[in-house]
Amino acid sequence: MPEYKSEREIEIMREAGRIVAEVLDLLEEHIKPGITTAELDRMAEEHILSRGATPAFKGYRMGGNTYPASICASIDEVVVHGIPSQRKLVAGEIISIDVGTFKDGYCGDGARTYAVGEIDEGKQKLMDVTRRALDAGIEQAVAGNHLGDISAAIQKTAEQNGFSVVRDMVGHGIGRRMHEDPQVQNFGTPGTGPVLKTGLVLAIEPMVNAGGYAISFKPDGWTTVTADGSPSAHFEHTVAITKDGPEILTLA
């Protein structure tokens, strides 16, 4: 069942979300050819700890696997959950950074995709459309709408531009736990699903592939890639449904 948040709880989540945004802003300054994803992870963790928060991803368990880092760093065909390593970024790649924080018992979660140096027009369009798909989903996060309205808006934006949305990975409710009910699919039908109510907080996160929507998993139990090897982009905000409309909590 969804857990609806009070105004006080949302205020705490704003702080957790603000730290997420600060990390994503910080890393944007350093994402260049030659830097390793492990270096980006170190910078992120240092900033999170300096703000009196803790990384939400590090130590997270799923299916018997424990995530070892503070960010997910997903390059080109990696959709989500790329594990930071000594691999150096190369010009022409795109990299999705996903980061979560806990502050005073509440979680913030956000993601952005960045260009590494100069990228081709296809990857730039993929990034732009995925960002627009997120915006379209957020616009539907209004009390009285249905959950399917968010999902349908994301799907329509991606598919009208020739891309596909990942169907096996979803957004989610968020609060005291990183993953709460409900699941927020990136595809669906308007007017379906639960009615959205004030106090619901969602992590809305379109994952959009340049090719087909099928994905596969690497043996490490985390790294998720496009089945056809096409590039993928990922943008995410933590969003509260308020009486005044959607409020993005993951802003600096």
Q: What is the pLDDT of residues 188-221, one digit of tens each?
A: 999 999 999 999 999 999 999 999 999 999 999 9
Confidence (pLDDT) at 221: 93
What are the φ/ψ torsions at residue 122 (nearest 5 degrees)?
-65, -45
Confidence (pLDDT) at 158: 98
Confidence (pLDDT) at 63: 84
What are the φ/ψ torsions at residue 22 (nearest 5 degrees)?
-60, -40
Parallel, antiparallel, or unpaired: how do β-strands 78-80 and 65-66 relate? unpaired
Which pTM was predicted? 0.97
User: Is the domain covering 7-248 a CATH 3.90.230.10 domain?
Assistant: yes
| C-beta of residue 227 within 8 angstroms of C-beta of residue 214 | yes
List the end-to-end C-alpha distance of the chain, in Å, as a whole number. Answer: 30
Q: How far apart are CA 94 and CA 99, in angstroms?
A: 17
